[in-house]
Structure 1
Amino acid sequence: MTEAPSVAVAIRDVLLTAEPFEKVMAARKTVRAWRQGRLAWRFDVPMPDRPAWPDRPELLPPNRMPKRGRAGSERARIALLHALAHIEFVAIDLAFDMAGRFGGEYPRAFVDDWLSVAGDEAMHFALLDRRLRALGSGYGALPAHAGLWEAAEATAHDALARLAVVPMVLEARGLDVTPATVARVLDAGDHATAAILNRIYTDEIRHVGIGTRWFESGCSIACQVPQPHWQYLVSTYFRGKLKPPFNDSARQTAGLTREYYQALAQ
């Protein structure tokens, strides 16, 4: 009987797919194959240090990113959607890398969860790119932030550090800013974009919850108290600052209580 291909090989293939449409299709295929039991829970290949990405968009440091333009204008909304699409595109790779790099350190349910997150991120990117195209643009038409993979590189050696920084800092930040962004988009009369952002917001509460739950599980195994260990890891591996205001309600729903982040807030 032929042995099933490993989930690690399938994940690596997604990470090494550069073209956005093909990456989304590869992501969906891998998530579906895992759910159907056609991939073995085996980690027999290393993950790449960096995923494959397309030639466009041009990646720029934050201080060289162009301004988005007048709030409420179509140009500003296209710039916003493009920035969000890039975040979701990189988030596909972050979720797959989480499963492929650290899946062997946790129970099988860890891979279940992070591949489900990866499937959500692929869907989010597809929705945002479709909306961009409806507005006469598309992913790759504008420059994008170059630093989104830095957190993955800094935490490639430590699953708890990765969990602390990516879902519990970076994705949690989306919970803080999305409601105000939705309000601005609605003020401009763009209900289609608002619906997409609300869908992403709902999914991201679940993603932060998954990250927090696995972080606490890992801390239990490592005999660490979660909140102070999270603060240590964030102080060590996150290059930015935790800035209020925080969406305490959404964070609380995800299990990310104020005891985690209040001491580091600036």
Structure 2
Amino acid sequence: MSGKTVAGAIRAALCERDARSKVMAARRVARDWRLGRLAFAFEVAMPDAPGRPEAPELLAPGRMPKRGKAGSERGRIALWHALAHIEFVAIDLALDMAGRFGAEMGPQFVSDFLAVAADEAMHFALLDRHLRTLGSHYGALPAHAGLWSAAHDTRHDVGARLAVVPMVLEARGLDVTPGTIDRVRAVGDERGARILERILDDEIRHVRFGANHFDAWAARLGADPQELWKSLVLRYFRGNLKPPFNDSARLAAGLSRDLYAGVACAKSNGISHASRDGGGFRPSP
């Protein structure tokens, strides 16, 4: 072991501004941790916000331009750019999860979320490469500025972070991705469809990591996991949980319909402690 710490390596990856450098840094910290090259030590704090490239320009949800007609060249590029941005932010979400809460949650928690960070980095690289085959690239269009807000709002509470990020925002990807795959395949983009199928398979595992660690956290508190999850989502999630839900994928990820159906109903009736409206983790195709 070289004397490097996992927290120091994670912070360095989070602070990378260049997209390609962040991808490489995320994969490197996951590999070095897996190979035992990083000490389980948390001597540095995580940054309040991660490093960002100069482009894309980040806009509030209401200022995002329309994507164009589905199937048009403009619409296709806008879709893949939005998906690439989601995966780019997801790298930071996973890194921050491991670096901010790893000391209290333990080495397996760090292992799981660094593996997620490496997956998200790979997803981003695949999506950016696909964008380039369409004559574009990541940063060519504006992007949603609100995706990091869930991390900021839950920076003080690992239970809230687990409840909102993997178990709500990432779980939403399980709902919308199958439909996106169908639309992409319908316009003849088989390569894009295969990329999304790979991402969907990985995201089931990512959500399961979140659900498993949330259950373990609730057990440490002596709390009922379903009731705790519902209370945290109502308090910290800004958007709405809207059907249709991909029940089979959610169940494979450890989320029962009993868990989220009640929250969806409460949200639809306006029962929430959140004061602002944000939005989901996945864009509508």
Looking at structure 2, the residues matched to 48 and 13 of structure 1 have their Cα atoms a distance apart, in angstroms, of 10
The letter for the 1-side match of 2:128 is D
Looking at structure 1, the residues matched to 193 and 131 of structure 2 have their Cα atoms a distance apart, in angstroms, of 13
Aligned to 2:25: 26
Aligned pair 1:199/2:198, yes or no? yes
The letter for the 2-side match of 1:231 is K
Deviation of 1:133 (Å): 0.7
Aligned to 1:252: 251
Aligned pair 1:240/2:239, yes or no? yes
The letter for the 2-side match of 1:176 is D
Deviation of 1:224 (Å): 0.9
The letter for the 2-side match of 1:151 is A
Aligned to 1:155: 154
Contact 2:2 2:38 survives alignment (8 Å): no
Higher mean displacement: 69-78 or 129-138: 69-78
Kindly tell me the number of residue pairs found equivalent between the two proteins: 265
Looking at structure 1, the residues matched to 101 and 185 of structure 2 have their Cα atoms a distance apart, in angstroms, of 40
**Counterparts of residues 49-88 of structure 1 (less than 5 Å):** 49-88=48-87
Contact 1:73 1:188 survives alignment (8 Å): no
Aligned to 1:12: 11
Deviation of 1:72 (Å): 1.4
**Counterparts of residues 98-177 of structure 1 (less than 5 Å):** 98-177=97-176
**Counterparts of residues 172-191 of structure 1 (less than 5 Å):** 172-191=171-190
RMSD of aligned alpha carbons = 0.9
Gaps of 5+ in 2: 269-285
Q: Which runs of 4+ in 1 moved over 2 A?
A: none
SS at match of 1:51: coil
Looking at structure 2, the residues matched to 31 and 3 of structure 1 have their Cα atoms a distance apart, in angstroms, of 15
Identity %, equivalent residues: 63
The letter for the 2-side match of 1:207 is H
Deviation of 1:3 (Å): 5.6
SS at match of 1:137: coil
Looking at structure 1, the residues matched to 208 and 71 of structure 2 have their Cα atoms a distance apart, in angstroms, of 32
SS at match of 2:244: coil
Contact 1:163 1:211 survives alignment (8 Å): yes
Q: Deviations over 1:86-141 (max 9, x none)?
A: 00000000000000000011121101100000000000000000000111000000
Looking at structure 1, the residues matched to 12 and 259 of structure 2 have their Cα atoms a distance apart, in angstroms, of 35
Deviation of 1:76 (Å): 1.1
1:139–1:3 Cα change, 3 Å: closer
Deviation of 1:196 (Å): 0.5
Deviation of 1:74 (Å): 2.2
Higher mean displacement: 25-34 or 213-222: 25-34
1:70–1:3 Cα change, 3 Å: closer
Looking at structure 1, the residues matched to 74 and 217 of structure 2 have their Cα atoms a distance apart, in angstroms, of 44
The letter for the 2-side match of 1:143 is P
The letter for the 2-side match of 1:118 is A
Deviation of 1:32 (Å): 1.0
**TM-score relative to the length of structure 1:** 0.98
Deviation of 1:77 (Å): 1.4
Q: Deviations over 1:123-168 (max 9, x none)?
A: 0000000000111000000000000000000000000000000000
Deviation of 1:191 (Å): 0.4
**TM-score relative to the length of structure 2:** 0.92
Gaps of 5+ in 1: none
Looking at structure 2, the residues matched to 3 and 174 of structure 1 have their Cα atoms a distance apart, in angstroms, of 38
Aligned to 2:93: 94
Q: Deviations over 1:230-249 (max 9, x none)?
A: 11001111110101100011
Looking at structure 2, the residues matched to 148 and 165 of structure 1 have their Cα atoms a distance apart, in angstroms, of 12
